[in-house]
Amino acid sequence: MKRFFLAFAAVLLVLAPAAAAPHLSLVPLKPNLYVVEDDFYAREYSMVYIGRDHVTVIGATWSPMTAEILVAEIKKITPLPVTEVIDQNHDLDRAGGNAYFKQIGAKIIAIQATSDLLAKEGKGQIADTKKFASDYPDIPIVLPDTIVGTDFTLQNGAIRGLWLGASHKPDDIFVWFPNAKVLYGGCALKPALGNMAGADLAEYPKTLRKLKALNLPIETIVAGHMSAVHGPDLIDRYLDMLAAYKP
Ligand SMILES: [Zn+2]
């Protein structure tokens, strides 16, 4: 009888529907510019720019494993090497994959504040991430090795990184692709407020107003979470949400 129940249980295990496996894929947005849809742990969107002779990844994704999947996806669309990754802030959805990029010899690019905050908070962030994603791995914290100023360009000016002040975290940068007229907002621009735990509520609206004052001819904003592709009005929508926010 016991054997029967064991066999029955085994059949149930086989028949139980597997939870939908997380996926990571590249979605074309503009010529040479892709949105990374990354469903692991908590859905995030990063970006990939294919240059003339090398590839730049914007956002290191959650972990060395997701970074490895991303680079494998990039290899399906171009033979060019991935030589650099930008940590858009020090959160693990933007910097958790650094160890893999280091392993393949890519430069890990960030502003000084991101490197400092990752050194200070990285270990604690692993524990915090496990609270909402129990399968989040014990990743090695790898710091950026290429520190840039608060207004920097890559890929012969096709990518411009801008830190304009504190927002979602003290160190979030915006990434502007002038040829494509696309702005990557990362964790700082989303269709809903999102996690405000580390937000600087006094500076956040000022920083977004500085972004507007640059008068960049933005056609598309790519958000870092929830849903990816938006129009330039996302900045005003986020400002309205901040104004209505009661902590
Ligand atoms: Zn984020």
Domain limits of the chain? Answer: 22-244
Flag the least confident range among 17-21, 57-61, 151-155, 198-202: 17-21
> Please, which residues bridge with residue 82 across strands?
55
In this model, does residue 247 exceed pLDDT 90?
A: no
Written as one string, the DSSP assignment of 116-169 is HHHHHHHHHHHHHHHHH-TT---------SEEE-SEEEEGGGTEEEE--S-SSS
Classify strands 229-230 and 220-223 as parallel, antiparallel or unpaired: antiparallel
- For the residues 136-150, what does the mean pLDDT come to? 97
In this model, does residue 10 exceed pLDDT 70?
A: no
In this model, does residue 9 exceed pLDDT 70?
A: no
In this model, does residue 3 exceed pLDDT 90?
A: no
Is the Cβ–Cβ distance between 48 and 57 less than 8 Å?
A: yes
- pLDDT band for 196, please (50, 70, 90 cuts): very high
What's residue 19's pLDDT?
58
- For the residues 16-36, what does the mean pLDDT come to? 86
- For the residues 213-221, what does the mean pLDDT come to? 98
Q: How many CB atoms lie within 10 A of CB 104?
A: 13
What is the C-alpha to C-alpha distance for residues 171 and 169, in angstroms, rounded to an integer? 5
Q: Across the chain, what does the average pLDDT equal? A: 93
pLDDT tens for residues 63-86?
Answer: 999 999 999 999 999 999 999 999
What's residue 13's pLDDT?
46
CATH architecture label of 22-244: 4-Layer Sandwich (3.60)
What is the C-alpha to C-alpha distance for residues 25 and 213, in angstroms, rounded to an integer? 34
Question: What is the whole-number distance in angstroms between the Cα of residue 93 and the centre of ligand 1?
Answer: 6
Percent of the chain at pLDDT above 70?
92
Does this model's pTM top 0.85? My answer is: yes
Question: What is the whole-number distance in angstroms between the Cα of residue 4 and the centre of ligand 1?
Answer: 49
In this model, does residue 28 exceed pLDDT 90?
A: yes
Nearest to 24 by CA among 10, 9, 34, 33: 34
In this model, does residue 113 exceed pLDDT 50?
A: yes
In this model, does residue 218 exceed pLDDT 60?
A: yes
Question: What is the whole-number distance in angstroms between the Cα of residue 13 and the centre of ligand 1?
Answer: 35
- pLDDT band for 14, please (50, 70, 90 cuts): very low
Question: What is the whole-number distance in angstroms between the Cα of residue 212 and the centre of ligand 1?
Answer: 21
Question: What is the whole-number distance in angstroms between the Cα of residue 105 and the centre of ligand 1?
Answer: 25
Question: What is the whole-number distance in angstroms between the Cα of residue 96 and the centre of ligand 1?
Answer: 11
pLDDT tens for residues 146-179?
Answer: 999 999 999 999 999 999 999 999 999 999 999 9
Question: What is the whole-number distance in angstroms between the Cα of residue 6 and the centre of ligand 1?
Answer: 44
What's residue 22's pLDDT?
86
Question: What is the whole-number distance in angstroms between the Cα of residue 153 and the centre of ligand 1?
Answer: 22
> In angstroms, how far is CA 53 from the centroid of its own chain?
23
- For the residues 91-97, what does the mean pLDDT come to? 98
In this model, does residue 12 exceed pLDDT 50?
A: no
In this model, does residue 204 exceed pLDDT 90?
A: yes
Percent of the chain at pLDDT above 90?
89
